[in-house]
Structures are given as structure tokens and as C-alpha cells.
């Protein structure tokens, strides 16, 4: 028997008659060929590179959005602070302007001032005040404009871009607001100065007019005249229009009205058949003592005299400023006017009154010295009738007459 030799392993499988198994069994797929491996690796690398590029682009965009927002926020914060500061200043300016216009309104509220000034001055103050009211109203509207808040900073770039655009819009509107505030600040200063100048001019003019007003009301009482002088001095010294200036003006007009009122009262007291003589005597006395404010009272009996042809006089004076005195005279002085004895007695009383200007020229410590001074002064003025004080107090020493001649 011949045993057949098995064919080599690499001998092709017969088409029939045999069933051959592979040399090795495995569930793992066969390894890829080298070209396939390189292709997949390249794709993976490209994918990774693309992902990195997208991430980098997003990061750059995020950074740029942050930087852009921060820049806009910084510029807007500065602009907002500038505008807010300007608003505070304008509010203060408006308050000051309102104070000035309020003062002007108080002045203009006096419809018939006792101390009148040129109507053009009042018209100028009225116009300036009206202009100021318009500017103040406009300024208040501008100040009422809100400065927007920048809000919270967003996180993501798409939000940051939108917020940056909004900040730029706020920056533009806030810058315009600052420009408007600067403009209205200038306008407030201009109209405020206009009102103040007009008001100060009016007060100064009224203060000057008070001098002539006083001369036109010589019979007013001293206290009213002194109040008028003080108010007139304050008005003349006014340099800016404010509440104090308005009060000064009102005080001036009030004092002037009191001058008119007290003069009317004095004239009413002097009314009657002796009125003209009384007023002539008062004018005569004032002519002897220029610069001394004199007030006069009349009565049937003064200092114990006045009847049966006698005449009486009594003077009260004050050493403090202003130089002033009150002279009381009996009706008989007016009845005998213009006799030399009436003039001599009046000169004696004026000698007491004018001593306020010459207090260091004589001894005022005793009544006798005081009376001799008044008598000496009447003599020095040329009034030699015994009613000058000689009859009542005796002839004064020559040194008194010499000293009194220096008191004018």
C-alpha cells in the first residue's frame, strides 16, 4: 500500500475532495495597510488644529470685547463724573440766581416808593429779572437730564459688544449734556450780573436821593430822619444784590415813609395862626447850626415861662453821633417873632444844641457853665438882647465868648 504524500502548505486547495482550515484563528481584523493609517492621523491632526483655531479666535474675540468695553466704560465714567459735577455746580448757580431775582422782586414790589428813583432804573431791573427767570427755567430743565448708569459689566463677548455700543451712545449724550451745562453756566453768570448791577444801581440812586428827600421834609422827627440816613448809607454801600440788599431797600422806603408820617404829625401839631411864625423860627434855628439835626416842640409854657410876655425855651442834646437836639419853645416866642428878643432866645437854645459839635471847648460839668456857654455863643453870633441868656444867667466870661466864636 502506498501512503500519499500531503501537498505543501502553499499548494492551492484542490477544487474538490478536500476541506482545509486556516493555519491561525482570530476575531481581530487584519491590520490596516500603512497608507490608511497615515490618512486617519492627518484628519485627526487637522481636526485638533481647527478646534484650537476656533478656540483661539473666540478667546481673541472675548479679550477684544473686554478691552473695548473697559475702554468705553472708563471714558464714560470720566464723562459721567464731569457731567454730574457740572450739574451740582449749576444747581448752586441756579439757587444763587434765584436769590438775586427774589431780591429784585422784593424791590420791584414797592409800587409807590417814598424815595422815588428814575423810572428807567426800575424798568431796567424788571427786564434783567425777567431775562434771568428765563435762563433759570432753562437751566433747571438741563439739570433735570439724567446721567445714565453704566450698569453691570456683561460676561460674554456678544453681550460686551452690545453694552460697549450703548456706552458710546451714553458718552455722546453725556458729553452734549456737559456742553449744555457749561453754556448755561455762562448764561447764568451773565444774567445774574445784569440783575445785580441793575439792583445795585437802583439802591445807590435811592440812597443818594434820600439826601434831597430829607431836605424836603425838615419838620420830620429826628428818629425818623436818623433811620432814613442809616438806610440811605447802607443802600449807597451795597455792592451786590441779595436778600440783605432787598431788606436795605425796604428799610429805606419804610424810613422815608416814616419821615413823611412824622412830618405830617408835627405840622398838624403846629397848625393854627402861629404855624407860619413857628416854621420861620425853626428855619432860623437850623440856619444857625448847620449839620445839627434839630427837632422842635411847642407849648404854651416851657421852662416855667410863656405867659404875660415871658418866653421860655429848653434844649435836650445828645453827645453821640449824629449831632442832634430837641428844642422846646413857648408859643410866646412865635407870638413875638421876629422881634430881636425872640431871635436872641432862640440863639441861646441853639447854643446848647450846637455844643454837640464843640463839646471840648467848654466845661459842661455844671449847669451854670452850660448856661453861660449858650449865652456866650448867642453873643458871639451877634444876638445881644438880654433874652440871649444874660437876663436869666448873667453875662458870661469873655473867654467863653471867644471860645464860642470858634464853634460853628
pLDDT, mean of each 10-residue run, the chain (408 residues): 40 43 47 57 64 80 90 92 96 97 98 95 98 97 92 88 92 95 97 98 98 97 98 97 98 98 97 97 98 98 96 96 97 98 98 94 94 98 98 96 96
Per DSSP, the three-state class of 147 is: coil
- The residues, any chain, with a CB within 8 Å of residue 134's CB and separated by 6 or more, are none
| Residue entry with cell 484650537 | 52
Task: Using alpha carbons, list the distances in angstroms from residue 152 to 70, 71, 77, 160, 186.
Answer: 12, 15, 13, 10, 36
| Residue entry with cell 444763587 | 96
What pLDDT is attached to residue 62? 85
> Residue 316's beta-bridge partner residues?
326
What's the CA gap between 389 and 400, in Å, rounded? 13
What's the CA gap between 92 and 133, in Å, rounded? 15
What pLDDT is attached to residue 12? 42
- The residues, any chain, with a CB within 8 Å of residue 153's CB and separated by 6 or more, are 69, 73, 160, 163
β-strand 313-318 against 324-330: which pairing, if any? antiparallel
What's the CA gap between 88 and 85, in Å, rounded? 5
N- to C-terminal Cα separation, the chain: 189
What pLDDT is attached to residue 58? 80
Burial of 256 (0-12, 13-18, 19+ CB in 10 A): buried
> Residue 314's beta-bridge partner residues?
328
What pLDDT is attached to residue 4? 41
What pLDDT is attached to residue 7? 43
The string of DSSP letters for 297-349 reads EEES-BTTB-STT---EEEEEESSSSPEEEEEEEHHHHHTTTSHHHHHHHHHH
Identify each DSSP E strand in 4-104 by its residue range.
none
What pLDDT is attached to residue 30? 52
C-alpha cell at 16: 474538490
DSSP label at 225?
A: H
Break the chain into its structural domains and give their ranges: 59-253, 271-404
What pLDDT is attached to residue 88? 97
What's the CA gap between 123 and 117, in Å, rounded? 11
What pLDDT is attached to residue 172? 94
Element (H, E) at 295: strand 293-299
Amino acid at each position: 500500500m502506498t501512503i500519499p504524500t500531503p501537498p505543501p502548505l502553499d499548494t492551492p486547495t484542490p477544487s474538490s475532495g478536500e476541506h482545509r482550515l486556516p493555519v491561525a484563528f482570530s476575531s481581530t481584523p487584519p491590520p490596516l495597510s500603512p497608507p490608511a493609517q497615515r490618512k486617519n492621523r492627518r484628519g485627526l491632526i487637522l481636526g485638533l488644529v481647527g478646534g484650537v483655531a476656533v478656540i483661539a479666535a473666540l478667546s481673541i474675540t472675548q479679550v477684544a470685547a473686554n478691552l473695548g468695553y473697559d475702554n468705553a466704560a472708563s471714558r464714560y465714567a470720566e464723562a459721567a463724573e464731569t457731567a454730574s459735577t457740572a450739574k451740582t455746580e449749576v444747581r448752586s448757580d441756579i439757587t444763587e440766581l434765584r436769590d438775586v431775582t427774589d431780591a429784585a422782586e422784593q424791590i420791584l414790589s414797592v409800587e409807590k416808593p417814598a424815595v422815588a428813583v428814575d423810572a428807567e432804573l426800575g424798568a431796567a431791573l424788571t427786564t434783567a429779572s425777567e431775562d434771568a427767570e428765563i435762563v433759570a427755567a432753562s437751566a433747571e430743565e438741563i439739570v433735570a437730564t439724567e446721567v445714565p448708569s453704566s450698569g453691570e459689566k456683561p460676561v460674554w463677548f456678544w453681550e460686551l459688544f452690545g453694552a460697549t455700543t450703548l456706552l458710546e451712545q451714553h458718552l455722546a449724550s453725556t458729553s452734549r449734556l456737559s456742553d449744555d451745562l457749561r453754556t448755561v453756566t455762562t448764561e447764568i453768570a451773565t444774567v445774574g450780573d445784569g440783575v445785580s448791577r441793575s439792583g445795585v444801581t437802583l439802591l445807590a440812586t435811592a440812597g443818594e436821593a434820600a439826601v434831597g428827600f430829607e431836605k424836603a421834609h425838615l419838620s420830620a422827627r429826628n428818629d425818623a430822619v436818623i433811620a432814613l440816613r442809616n438806610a440811605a448809607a447802607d443802600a449807597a454801600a451795597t455792592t451786590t444784590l441779595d436778600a440783605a440788599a432787598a431788606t436795605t431797600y425796604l428799610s429805606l422806603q419804610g424810613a422815608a415813609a416814616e419821615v413823611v408820617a412824622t412830618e405830617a404829625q408835627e405840622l398838624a401839631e403846629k397848625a393854627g395862626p402861629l404855624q407860619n411864625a413857628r416854621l420861620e423860627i425853626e428855619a432860623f434855628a437850623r440856619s444857625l447850626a448847620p449839620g445839627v439835626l434839630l427837632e422842635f416842640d411847642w407849648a404854651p409854657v416851657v421852662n416855667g415861662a410863656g405867659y404875660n410876655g415871658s418866653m421860655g425855651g429848653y434844649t435836650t442834646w445828645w453827645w453821640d453821633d449824629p449831632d442832634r437836639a430837641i428844642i422846646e419853645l413857648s408859643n410866646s416866642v412865635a407870638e413875638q417873632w421876629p422881634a430881636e428878643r425872640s431871635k436872641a432866645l432862640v440863639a441861646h437854645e441853639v447854643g446848647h444844641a450846637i455844643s454837640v459839635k464843640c463839646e471840648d471847648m467848654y466845661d459842661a460839668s455844671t449847669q451854670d457853665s452850660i448856661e453861660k456857654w449858650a449865652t456866650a455863643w448867642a453873643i458871639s453870633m451877634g444876638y445881644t438882647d438880654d433874652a440871649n441868656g444874660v437876663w436869666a444867667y448873667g453875662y458870661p466870661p469873655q473867654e467863653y465868648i471867644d471860645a464860642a466864636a470858634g464853634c460853628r
